[in-house]
Amino acid sequence: MNHRSFSVILLPTSQCNVACDYCFEKKDPHRLSLEVVPVLTKRLLDHMEREDIAECEIFWQGGEAFLMGPEWYVAVRTIMEQAATARGHRFVHSMQSNLIGYSPAWNDLIFDMFGGSLGTSMDYPNLHRKMFNGSAESYTDTWRKRLDEARGAGIHIGVIAVLHQGSLEAGAEAFYHFFTRELGLDDFQVNTPFPGGPANDSASGFQLDPKELSRFMGELFDLWIADGIDRGVALGPFDALIDHFTGRPARLPCIWKENCSNQFISVDSKGTVAQCDCWVTSEPDYHFGNLFLEPDLTRMLGESPARRKFVERPGKLVLEADCLECRFLSICHGGCPVRTHAALGTIDAKDPYCEVYKTVFTRAERHGQMLRNLPSSMSTLTSEKESISSN
């Protein structure tokens, strides 16, 4: 067996209990039935066997993954584990939740199935993550209570923050202070926004000015180097870049993978297969197929015209865009297809945040040089988990 990574972003439902402005999910009350989990598991295991993949990372996301209830996950885990063990394979599970529905009833499952860790999301300032009544304030209050309760139970929480215009206006220092000092987090990640999913009035506001965003990201990087790195604060994607530029093994986020199509697929509750959660519920033109209708996942991935577009994208960019002359091509590969698609309506162009990435890579290179010259006691900085750059 080889150690090739294979990760599945699994959406047991696209339904959600909150209403974020920038949500790209096409909400649907449909839920993954326990009755079809053995079929789904078999399709994944067949693919792993054909491709000689020993282990598959399952990222449970939504919608809101907590809507399925802890008992449902206990049953799913048993089905998947028994089938995988019988065939000499392994599933490793992670979960991303908005935490709003967290209660101690989840604790046993979180420790047994997810290694005592949960991923969640919060922005600063929170203007766009909202309860159904439209209030960002009540969302923030509830989320902070749940965060405290979960951490009180000993659960490790990693947070994704989606940057927006309000973050840029608040400034990097206030942003960094909120996450590291006010919330006391030691593991968070910043994602660039994109106006994905079904059209909504606020979507166009989520394409940030690359110059402003570059300045913000550069300042945030410097703050983390000055204040966070020595205290063991993990701040993605900077930590992975520092690993890369100091010659350590680095798990770069999916936007900078050689080709995200080599490693990820997403499957929704109806069996739809697509590149990642950004595409699976809301972009039917980019669906690869259906796991419950097509018995051979390997063949589906090999023959899908939609997937071929993802596979061929980095090669096309090298031929057609200025990526070929970019000295960061070997870590960037043209960036993220969904961010490109959201801005330009095609995936065959370089990522619209190119300028931001160049700023961040240049900073990482400089900080990496400086850190290489220091007596090293640091271990690998990057989280052991894959980092997916959706919302």
Q: Which residues bind ligand SF4 (CB under 6 A)?
A: 16, 18-20, 23, 25, 62-64, 98, 254-255, 260, 264, 275-276, 278, 322-323, 326, 328-329, 332, 334-338, 350-351, 354, 357-358, 388-391
Which residues, 6 or more positions from 355, have their beta carbon under 8 angstroms from its beta carbon? Answer: 210, 211, 214
Shortest Å distance, C-beta 18 to ligand SF4: 5
CB atoms closer than 10 angstroms to residue 52: 10
Taking the least distance from each CB to ligand SF4, the nearer of 108 and 258 is: 258
Q: Which is nearer to ligand SF4, 16 or 364 (CB)?
A: 16
What does the alpha-carbon distance between residue 142 and residue 139 come to, in Å, rounded to a whole number? 5
Contact 34, 25 (CB under 8 A): no
**Which CB atom, from 123 or from 239, has the smaller least distance to ligand SF4?**
123
- Min dist. Cβ of residue 173 to ligand SF4 (A): 26
How would you classify residue 118: left for phi > 0, otherwise alpha for psi between -120 and 50, otherwise beta?
A: beta
The least distance separating ligand SF4 from the CB of residue 91, rounded to whole angstroms, comes to: 19
Nearer to ligand SF4, 330 or 376 (CB): 330
Instruction: Classify residue 255 as exposed, middle or buried by CB count within 10 Å of its CB (0-12, 13-18, 19+).
Output: buried
Rank residues 4 and 181 by Cβ distance to ligand SF4 and give the closer one: 4
**Could you tell me the two tokens for 22?**
């920038």
Q: Least distance (Å) from ligand SF4 to the CB of residue 191?
A: 9
- Give the nearest distance from C-beta 194 to ligand SF4 in angstroms: 9
Helix (H, G, I), strand (E, B) or coil at 156: strand
Q: How far is the CB of 276 from ligand SF4 (least distance, A)?
A: 3
What's the chain's Rg over C-alpha atoms? 20
Name the residue nearer to ligand SF4 (CB basis): 20 or 229: 20
Cβ distance 332 to 361 under 8 Å? yes
